[in-house]
Structure 1
Amino acid sequence: MIQFVLMVNRQGQTRLSRYYQPVELTRRAALEADVVRCCLSRRKEQCSFVEYKDFKLVYRQYAALYIVVAVTDAENELSVYELVHNFVEVLDKYFSRVSELDIMFNLDRVHVILDEMIQNGHIVETNKGRILAPLTALDKMADS
């Protein structure tokens, strides 16, 4: 099961966070800082799966952004690794070459995409067309 998803830049600034298990707000900042420090300090040659406290971290770097997903021990790391890549492909398709600024200024749309893919910590959709359907409908309504 997915615990949380983070998207951070190289400076460690969180651009997106979605928690699927309750975490106190006072603990979130410390948890995110520790997770980001753990992932950003690793070399490119090292594995993208990290044992961290009572869960595993699966991360992937795309240009200046890191996407970090925390999962339970029962979750398949490779499927989550592919989910991260699929998420970025969907963002690329919607924003046509997504950038950090696209994410910052369209955070609501990024959350819609993520919510279409993951619900309650479980992967529910991977088809790019189905994931983008609600946003396409919203964009058509806004244009008319």
Structure 2
Amino acid sequence: MIQFVLLISRQGKVRLTKWYSPYTQKERSKVIRELSGVILTRGPKLCNFVEWRGHKVVYKRYASLYFCMGIDQEDNELEVLEIIHHYVEILDRYFGSVSELRPWFIVCELDLIFNFHKYNAAYYALDELLIAGELQESSKKTVARLIAAQDSLVEAAKEQASSLSNIISQATK
């Protein structure tokens, strides 16, 4: 079972966290601090698995982001690497259609920072992909369709809120 998911920039800034096991805020901060130090200092030729505090941490660097997943000792590291890659491909497909800033299609930190109005899509995709730390949806098309549906709901809510504020301002004049 996946215990947590972290997206960390090369500078050590946390861009996304998702916890599937109960950790206090103090423990979360300690996990992030310790793992950032361990993963960021590892050489690029070393394997993408780290034994840490009775868990295994599987990570992979894409562009300027490290995608990290903490798993149980008995879990398969290669399967988790595939889950990470699957998640990156989903984000790539989503942000690739949003961002015209770069010619390659690898999700990067800029997507999460500058497309802040689309930032929740990273959480939506993760929530559709993993439930309670287990892989639930393996179809990229299905996840993309669900994210698009969520985006349309958000846009409809924004339009409704805008029209309601216009009606209220008209009524108060």
1:126 equivalent to 2:143? Answer: no
Residue 16 of structure 1: aligned partner: 16
**Separation of aligned partners in 2, 1:135 and 1:64:** 24
Task: Please provide the CA RMSD for this pair.
Answer: 1.5
Choose between structure 1 and 2 for higher RCO, CA contacts under 8 A separated by at least 6 residues.
1
Q: How many residues align structurally?
A: 144
CA contact (8 A) 1:60 1:66 kept: yes
**Separation of aligned partners in 2, 1:72 and 1:133:** 31
User: Could you state the TM-score of these two structures normalised by the residue count of structure 1?
Assistant: 0.94
**Separation of aligned partners in 2, 1:139 and 1:27:** 33
Structure 2 residue runs without a partner (length 5+): 97-104, 160-173
State the AA in 2 paired with 1:43: G
The structure number with the bigger radius of gyration is 2
Deviation track 1:2-53 (CA, whole Å, cap 9, x = no partner) reads 0000001011110000000000001211110101111111111101011001
CA contact (8 A) 2:7 2:17 kept: yes
**Separation of aligned partners in 2, 1:120 and 1:137:** 22
Residue 54 of structure 1: aligned partner: 54
Identical pairs, percent: 36
User: Could you state the TM-score of these two structures normalised by the residue count of structure 2?
Assistant: 0.79
Structure 1 residue runs without a partner (length 5+): none
Aligned pairs (5 A) from 1:99-114: 99-104=108-113, 105=116, 106-114=118-126
State the AA in 2 paired with 1:134: L
Q: Secondary structure at the match of 1:16?
A: strand
State the AA in 2 paired with 1:122: E
Residue 127 of structure 2: aligned partner: 115
State the AA in 1 paired with 2:146: P
**Separation of aligned partners in 1, 2:50 and 2:59:** 8
Q: Which has the higher strand share?
A: 1
State the AA in 1 paired with 2:51: E
Per the TM alignment, residue 140 of structure 1 is displaced from its structure 2 partner at its CA by: 4.1
Q: Which has the higher helix share?
A: 2
**Separation of aligned partners in 2, 1:60 and 1:38:** 13
CA contact (8 A) 1:10 1:66 kept: yes
Residue 95 of structure 2: aligned partner: 95
Deviates more, 1:72-81 or 1:99-108: 99-108
